[in-house]
């Protein structure tokens, strides 16, 4: 034994390990705290069951109660839309692009409420919704486009070289349209 070092007894090691573990009541296994979700309702802050048991439980519940859960979700969505007709648009802008509706509107006003590329004032969608163009690698929003221009960029995989080649092709094989 080295001087200045203290050795822990087996009991001390066991009690320290036990302090960081908990038995899952579903599977009966002793598991580390990291294997449990968080729960603010409980003094120790951990969910009753381990994550694996909760996952199995919720998957089974979704299978057996699919219609009931679906109807509850649709009812909740209908209530949200009734309270705010732009609810879905707001939710999609925020979750997909990190934009609020006000930020979207400001960006669209800054480009004169037109497509940045073709300058049309029509979104070319049946829904009448403009498309948010973004960099697929970084997620950064680049501008608001009509659906035709957004699709064109997508079909060219956002590669400037492909777009340049397409422009050259059109110049070689026909007149430019206004």
Q: pLDDT band at 149, cuts 50/70/90? A: very high
Residue 133 · residue 151 · CB < 8 Å: no
Q: What is the pLDDT at residue 10?
A: 67
* DSSP 8-state symbol, 138: T
In CATH terms, are 18-64 and 99-172 the same topology? Answer: no
pLDDT at 20: 86
Architecture of the structural domain at 99-172: 3-Layer(aba) Sandwich (3.40)
Paired strand residues for 131: 145
Distance CA 150, CA 130 (A): 10
Q: What percent of the chain has pLDDT over 70?
A: 88
Neighbours of 133 (CB within 10 A): 19
Segment 119-140 mean pLDDT: 90
For 80, 118, 132, 150, 164, the CA distances from 103, given in Å and listed in that order, are 21, 22, 12, 19, 31
Tokens of 98: 């990190």
Cα 176–Cα 169–Cα 150 angle in degrees, nearest 5: 75
Taking all residues of the chain, what is their mean pLDDT, rounded to a whole number?
88
Does the domain at residues 18-64 carry the CATH identifier 1.25.40? no
Per-residue confidence band for 42, with pLDDT thresholds at 50, 70 and 90: confident
- Mean pLDDT of the 123-149 span: 91
- Where in the chain are the domains? 18-64, 99-172
The pTM assigned to this predicted structure is 0.61
**Most distant pair of Cα atoms in the chain: their distance:** 91
Stretch among 7-21, 72-86, 157-171 having the lowest mean pLDDT? 7-21
Q: Any residues with CB less than 8 A from the CB of 168 and at least 6 apart, and which?
A: none
Lowest mean pLDDT among 16-20, 29-33, 151-155: 16-20
| 176 has a pLDDT exceeding 80 | no
Q: What is the pLDDT of residue 6?
A: 54
């Amino acid at each position: 034994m080295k001087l200045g070092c203290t050795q822990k007894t087996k009991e001390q090691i066991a009690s320290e390990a036990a302090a960081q573990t908990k038995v899952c009541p579903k599977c009966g296994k002793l598991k580390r705290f990291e294997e449990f979700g968080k729960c603010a309702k409980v003094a120790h802050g951990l969910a009753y069951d381990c994550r694996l048991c909760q996952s199995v439980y919720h998957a089974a519940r979704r299978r057996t109660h699919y219609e009931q859960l679906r109807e509850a979700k649709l009812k909740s969505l209908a209530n949200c839309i009734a309270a705010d007709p732009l609810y879905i648009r707001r939710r999609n802008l925020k979750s997909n692009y990190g934009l609020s509706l006000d930020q979207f509107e400001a960006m669209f006003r800054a480009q004169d409420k037109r497509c940045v590329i073709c300058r049309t004032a029509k979104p070319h969608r049946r829904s009448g919704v403009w498309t948010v163009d973004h960099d697929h690698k970084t997620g950064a929003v680049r501008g608001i486009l009509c659906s035709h221009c957004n699709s064109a960029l997508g079909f060219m995989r956002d590669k400037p070289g492909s777009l340049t080649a397409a422009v050259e092709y059109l110049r070689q094989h026909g007149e430019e349209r206004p």
